[in-house]
Structure 1
Amino acid sequence: MLELTKKYSIKKIADLKDFITVTYVLIDNIYKEITPTHIKKRRNINESILSDSQIITLSIVGELLTIDSEKAWLGFCKKNLKDLFPRFSHRTRFNRTRRALHSVIDAIRKELTSMLGFRDKSFRIVDSIPIPVCKFGRARFHKSFKVDSAYGYCASKKETYYGFKLHAITTIEGFITNFILTPVSICPRNYNQKREFN
């Protein structure tokens, strides 16, 4: 794992706890700069078990470690990171706060991308994956996503599904620089028909 020092030189971080600490410091500094006051000083924020920066750090580190199971990752953190996080909020509270901070997390990702210099590189990889919202047989009864989602075909899985597509732009190194969720009907070759990446 890598650490950005003040002189922008790079050194290895061998320990997960050190990596989480460095990531937290970076994220907390960005959070303080970019987060609107109405989010930073919202009601009951002082009674929170975990700060916004801690929740964002745990979310981003879990993604960087490519851990698919959120339950398993939070369970691991509660068991092994007690010295960094003496008190841990319940998983549902953690998830509610994380979802509410979606726009802040997105802005922090963009700042980290810019800070690490990935935004200046000329080449990007664009790919998309299907995001089914329910089993195919239940699609005609589904009411939540009738407006934005549609039926689509996933060639790699050889199946028709009902839901969305996640389109991501990454650097050659695999760092995600941007992403967008669209209806199934949007083709990767026609992004500007619907909306453009920033």
Structure 2
Amino acid sequence: MPLETFMVTVYCLVCEALNIVVPGGNPRKRGFPPKLSDAEALTMAFVGTVLGYQSDKAVWKYFLRHWAAGFPSLGDRSTFVRQLANLGHIEAFLHQHWARTLEAFAAKVHLVDGFPVPVCHPRRVGRRTLFRGEAGWGFCASKDEHYFGFHGLVLTTADGIITGVASRAAHIDERDALFDLPLEYSRGALFGNKGFIRPILTEDLSAMGMTLHSPLRRNMMDSRPKSLVDHIVSVRRRVETVIGQLAERFSAERTGARMLWQLVSRIYRKVAAHPLCVLLNQSLGRPLLDFEGLVTE
């Protein structure tokens, strides 16, 4: 899909979704509407995210330089950044709407996994005042490294559609952060990794109508059929693919935020952009998670 066609399509989807998640399409209760419409600002944010721009400033620069004619109401940088900051909760609503459109909440199998969100280099932690008292030290097993920041959790369907995201300080056990995800919409099987093994967690999830499945540790006896264990491991690769896309294509591990609300807002934007791309792939008859050839410059 050509980039210009992609922008127009995203704009149409954002306009349609805004009228559904926000009565009248205007999230403001008072005051004058902004010169740049919210649909235009959100379109710029989502397109910039898909193209790999990490900060609001970078998105603003890109559109000012290359697409000023398409967005004639685009003002100065600070106004654009403030407008996106005020739309952070709307991005979360848009994500839920697109996930619901894809019937993700009706799925019988969900996958959960985590990813690191470092906020600075470990050597600079002692001199850094940002996120002090909010971030913490954590360990990323896939990268075999310690980091200072937050730990994100992603809940997806077996097809790779994100249904929820949560983040906590990196030192908090991800099993405790699991209930920050929208599990009330999920039923059936939940596939996790070995880090989610905890008997009381299994009982709590069972009371909610979910059955936790995960590979066992080497020192634990597994009475389940080997075919079931292999199936769990195979299906779980899908959530690893989704996290890889969030980290590499959408730069979810590098938010550039200086405050907690900025970090949460930017993570939600990147998460919302994912089902948006899935929705476009579905409409084009492409593989749902094939983002590589979705946009052509």
Q: CA deviation at 1:155?
A: 2.8
Cα distance in structure 2, aligned partners of 1:123 and 1:66? 30
Change (3 A) 1:20 1:120: farther
1:6-85 alignment to 2 at 5 Å? Answer: 14-35=1-22, 39-45=27-33, 48-63=34-49, 65=50, 67-70=52-55, 73-85=59-71
Cα distance in structure 2, aligned partners of 1:97 and 1:177? 26
SS in 2 for 1:128: strand
Whether 1:161 aligns to 2:124 is no
Whether 1:133 aligns to 2:119 is yes
Cα distance in structure 2, aligned partners of 1:133 and 1:36? 36
Whether 1:183 aligns to 2:145 is no
Higher strand share: 1
Cα distance in structure 1, aligned partners of 2:103 and 2:84? 26
Q: Which residue of 2 aligns with 1:123?
A: 109
Change (3 A) 1:83 1:175: farther
Using the size of structure 1 for normalisation, the TM-score is: 0.73
1:77-111 deviations in Å (ceiling 9; x for gaps): 33443453123233333222212211111001101
Q: CA deviation at 1:57?
A: 1.8
Amino acid in structure 1 at the alignment position of 2:31: R
Which of 93, 98, 112 is equivalent to 2:79?
Answer: 93
Cα distance in structure 2, aligned partners of 1:151 and 1:49? 42
The aligned length equals 181
Cα distance in structure 2, aligned partners of 1:36 and 1:54? 18
Higher helix share: 2
Q: CA deviation at 1:66?
A: 5.2
Change (3 A) 1:128 1:31: same
Cα distance in structure 1, aligned partners of 2:146 and 2:122? 7
Give the gaps of 5 or more residues in structure 2.
184-297
Q: Check the 8 A contact 2:104/2:157 in 1, yes or no.
A: yes
1:28-57 deviations in Å (ceiling 9; x for gaps): 232233337883244342xx3311111112
1:104-144 deviations in Å (ceiling 9; x for gaps): 11001101111122332233332322122233233234444
Cα distance in structure 2, aligned partners of 1:91 and 1:188? 37
| Highest RCO, 1 vs 2 (Cα 8 Å, sep ≥ 6) | 2
Cα distance in structure 2, aligned partners of 1:58 and 1:129? 26
Change (3 A) 1:172 1:36: same
Q: CA deviation at 1:172?
A: 4.0
Amino acid in structure 1 at the alignment position of 2:48: G
Q: CA deviation at 1:173?
A: 4.3
SS in 1 for 2:109: coil
Amino acid in structure 1 at the alignment position of 2:37: S
SS in 2 for 1:124: strand
Q: Check the 8 A contact 2:153/2:174 in 1, yes or no.
A: yes
